[in-house]
Chains A and B, each alone.
Chain A
Amino acid sequence: MSMKLLNFKALITIIALISATVPTASARECYMPTESCLCNDNLRYEKPKYQQRVEKRRNSWLNIMPRLFTLQYAGDIGMVSAGFGWNYGRSKQWETHALIGFLPKRENYSHYWTLTLREIYNPWRIGINGRCDVTPLSVSMSLNSILHGDFWVSEPDRYPSGYYGFSSRMRFHIGLGQRFTYLIPENKRYLHSKISVYYEVSTCDLYVRQKILDKSVPLKDIIALGIGIIYTL
C-alpha cells in the first residue's frame, strides 16, 4: 500500500515539474503579439511580468536545443553511433555529445545498443582563408553504457559484496583526435553552418588497467580508431 502511495506521489511530483517547465498553449498565445510589445518599447512600456517569465522560459528551452549532430563509425562505442550535442565556452571550445550506438550480431554475440555521453575539449582552432578551419587537437572523455541484461552497473545480489569490484556495463574512454571543419558559405546553408570530419584514437579503462599491470600487451591492441562527421547549426 505504502509503495503504491509513494509511486502516486512521485507521479504527481513529475507532472507538477513538467507543467511548471513546459510553456502551455495559452502562454504561447499571449506571447505571440511580440511586435506590439516592441513598438511600445519607446513608450517605456514594460511587458507584463507573466509575459517576461514565459519569454525567459522559452529562451532557456531554446538554449538547451541541440546545436550539433554527430555520426560516428567505430571508436569503441558502437559500429555506428548517432547523436546530438551542444557547443559552449568563449570560443565554443567545449562540446558535450550524447550518442546512441548500434553493435551488430557477431558470431555468438547478440546485437547491442549503447549510450554514450561525451565531453570534448578543442583548445585551438586554426582558420584557413575563412572557408575552413583545422582543430589540431581534440581531447575527449566518454562514458559508454552497453544496454543488455548480460552487463551490469553494480554486481547483482547473488555475488558476495565486492566480488568483482567493477562494472561490466559502464566503460570510460579517453581519446585524442583532430578535426577538419568546412564553413558553409552563407548563401549555401540549408540547416547547418559547418560540417566537420574527425578521427579519434581512444582507449578504455579496462585496457589501460591491463597495460599498467602488464606492459607486454602491445599498445596498438589497446587503441581503437573512430571516424565521424559533425553538423553544427
Chain B
Amino acid sequence: MTLITTACDNFEYHPYSIKIHGQKDINATTIEQLETAGIKAPFKFAFITDTQGALSDMNTALDLIKQRGDIDFIIHGGDMTDFGLPKEYVWARDMLNNYGIPFLTIIGNHDCLGNGEDTFKTIFGPENFSLNIDHVHIVGLNTVALEYDYSRPVPDLDFIENDRLEVDNINAAHPDSLTHTIVAMHSRPYDEQFNNNVAKVFNYYLSKYPGMDETTYDRQPSDLPEDLLRCPRGFCINGHNHSTSISDIFDNGILYYQCANMTKRTFFIFTITEDGYEHEVVEF
C-alpha cells in the first residue's frame, strides 16, 4: 500500500506544478498559536534566512535552536527556496515542522521565481502579515519589488498604514499594550530588490510604529558599536545580502539586523525583554 502511495506521488506532472500535501497557510496557524499562547516577556526568537537549498546547514541550525530549549518561535527571513520550486518549499517546510517550534516565513526574491509566489501563498499564506506577542508588534513584509518589476505596491504601504492604525486602536483601547515593533523583511531599503523610490517613505511609515521613534532611544542592546548606541527599542531584521551586519540606514536609530545566508552557518537570537531587547549572533 505504501509502495502504491509512493508510486502515485511520483506521478509528478511538472517540477513547477505538484500537488502540495501537508500543512498549508502556516503563517496564519503560527500567528494564532503565538497570540493565544500567552507568551510574556522576556521571550526569545531565532532568525534564520536564505536557505536556498542548504538543507543540511538549516538542519544543523535547527538542531542548535532546539537544543537551547528556550526559543519560543522562529522567523525565516525568505529565500527558503533557490528556484521557487514547490518541492523545495516542501523540503524546507517539513524540516522546520519536524522541530515542533512555531515558525513564520517571509517571502524572498528566489521564492517568487516561476510560480513560486503562488506556492508561497498556498503553504504560508499572505506575503504581508502581523501579530502581537505580549507588548511586541511583529510585522512580516514582502519587500522584493524587483520581482514584480515595480508593477505592484511592494512594500505595500497601504498594508503598513492599516496595520499601524490597528496598533493605534489597540493602544487607544488599552494604553501602552504595544510598545515595541519588530519588522522582518527579506531585502532592506537600498538593496537592488527594494523599491528605492519609496525607501524614505517606507522608513517614515515604520518610524510611526510604537517603539520606533526617538522617545524610546534609551532602550538599546548592550553589545552595539558606539556609533549605533542611540536607537529605539523597535528594530528591523532582514536577510538577502548573504552577510551579517547592523546598520542605521536612515540615520534615525532604526537598526537593520542583517543575517547571513544558511551556507555561512549563521543565525540570530533575539531576546525581547520588558523594556528592550538583546541580540545574539550564533555562528556554527
What residues of chain A lie closer than 8 Å to B12, measured between beta carbons? 74-76, 224-225
Check B118 against A214 for contact (C-beta < 8 Å).
no
Check B83 against A168 for contact (C-beta < 8 Å).
yes
User: Within 8 Å of chain A (Cβ to Cβ): is B56?
Assistant: yes
Interface string of A209-220 (1 = CB under 8 A from B): 110011111001
Interface string of A196-233 (1 = CB under 8 A from B): 00000100101101100111110011111111000000
| CA A19 to CA B121, docked complex, whole Å | 52
Check A78 against B56 for contact (C-beta < 8 Å).
no
Interface string of B86-120 (1 = CB under 8 A from A): 01100100000000000000000010011100110
Check A74 against B13 for contact (C-beta < 8 Å).
yes
Q: Which of A74, A114, A148, A222 contacts B11 (CB 8 A)?
A: A74
Check B84 against A107 for contact (C-beta < 8 Å).
no
User: Within 8 Å of chain A (Cβ to Cβ): is B192?
Assistant: yes
Check B122 against A160 for contact (C-beta < 8 Å).
no
| CA A160 to CA B23, docked complex, whole Å | 36
What residues of chain A lie closer than 8 Å to B15, measured between beta carbons? 76, 171, 204, 206-207
User: Within 8 Å of chain B (Cβ to Cβ): is A188?
Assistant: no
| Interfacial residues of chain B within 232-282, with CB under 8 A of chain A in the complex | none
Check A225 against B11 for contact (C-beta < 8 Å).
yes
Q: Which of A78, A159, A221 contacts B14 (CB 8 A)?
A: A78
| CA A156 to CA B56, docked complex, whole Å | 32
Q: Which of A108, A146, A156, A210 contacts B16 (CB 8 A)?
A: A146
What residues of chain A lie closer than 8 Å to B7, measured between beta carbons? 225
| CA A151 to CA B54, docked complex, whole Å | 24
Q: Which of A144, A166, A207, A214 contacts B56 (CB 8 A)?
A: A214
Q: Within the complex, what minimum Cβ distance (angstroms) separates B81 from chain A?
A: 10
Check B11 against A150 for contact (C-beta < 8 Å).
no
| Interfacial residues of chain B within 31-52, with CB under 8 A of chain A in the complex | none
Q: Within the complex, what minimum Cβ distance (angstroms) separates B108 from chain A?
A: 12
Check A103 against B121 for contact (C-beta < 8 Å).
no
| CA A224 to CA B10, docked complex, whole Å | 5
User: Within 8 Å of chain A (Cβ to Cβ): is B149?
Assistant: yes
User: Within 8 Å of chain B (Cβ to Cβ): is A98?
Assistant: no
User: Within 8 Å of chain A (Cβ to Cβ): is B53?
Assistant: yes
User: Within 8 Å of chain A (Cβ to Cβ): is B171?
Assistant: no
What residues of chain B lie closer than 8 Å to A107, measured between beta carbons? 20, 118, 122
Check A158 against B149 for contact (C-beta < 8 Å).
yes
Check B55 against A220 for contact (C-beta < 8 Å).
no
Check B16 against A77 for contact (C-beta < 8 Å).
no
Check A73 against B54 for contact (C-beta < 8 Å).
no
| Interfacial residues of chain A within 80-107, with CB under 8 A of chain B in the complex | 101, 103, 106-107
Q: Which of B13, B59, B113 contacts A76 (CB 8 A)?
A: B13
User: Within 8 Å of chain B (Cβ to Cβ): is A190?
Assistant: no
What residues of chain B lie closer than 8 Å to A137, measured between beta carbons? none
Q: Within the complex, what minimum Cβ distance (angstroms) separates B170 from chain A?
A: 31
Give the nearest-CB partner of B192 in chain A. A160
| CA A204 to CA B14, docked complex, whole Å | 10
| CA A91 to CA B85, docked complex, whole Å | 40
What residues of chain A lie closer than 8 Å to B53, measured between beta carbons? 209-210, 213-214
User: Within 8 Å of chain B (Cβ to Cβ): is A45?
Assistant: no
Q: Within the complex, what minimum Cβ distance (angstroms) separates B1 from chain A?
A: 16
What residues of chain A lie closer than 8 Å to B118, measured between beta carbons? 107-109
Q: Assuming A207-B87, A210-B88, A214-B56, is B19 touching A106 (CB within 8 A)?
A: yes
User: Within 8 Å of chain B (Cβ to Cβ): is A134?
Assistant: no
User: Within 8 Å of chain A (Cβ to Cβ): is B138?
Assistant: no
Check A151 against B11 for contact (C-beta < 8 Å).
no
Q: Within the complex, what minimum Cβ distance (angstroms) separates A211 from chain B?
A: 10
User: Within 8 Å of chain A (Cβ to Cβ): is B183?
Assistant: no
Q: Assuming A109-B115, A168-B83, A207-B87, is B56 touching A103 (CB within 8 A)?
A: no
Give the nearest-CB partner of A108 in chain B. B118
Check B14 against A76 for contact (C-beta < 8 Å).
yes
Q: Within the complex, what minimum Cβ distance (angstroms) separates A198 from chain B?
A: 14
Interface centre among A110, A144, A156, A159 (most CB of B within 10 A): A159
What residues of chain A lie closer than 8 Å to B169, measured between beta carbons? none
What residues of chain A lie closer than 8 Å to B114, measured between beta carbons? 146, 150-151, 168
- Kindly list the 5 A-B residue pairs having the minimum CB-CB distance in the complex, ordered from nearest: A108-B118, A224-B12, A74-B11, A225-B10, A168-B114
Task: Mark A residues whose CB is within 8 Å of B.
Answer: 73-79, 101, 103, 106-110, 112, 114, 144, 146, 148, 150-151, 156, 158-160, 164, 166, 168, 171, 201, 204, 206-207, 209-210, 213-217, 220-227
**25 A–B contacts from the bound complex (CB under 8 Å):** A76-B13, A76-B14, A103-B14, A106-B19, A108-B115, A108-B119, A109-B115, A109-B118, A109-B119, A148-B115, A151-B16, A168-B114, A206-B82, A206-B83, A206-B85, A213-B54, A214-B53, A214-B55, A216-B55, A217-B55, A221-B87, A221-B91, A224-B12, A225-B10, A226-B11
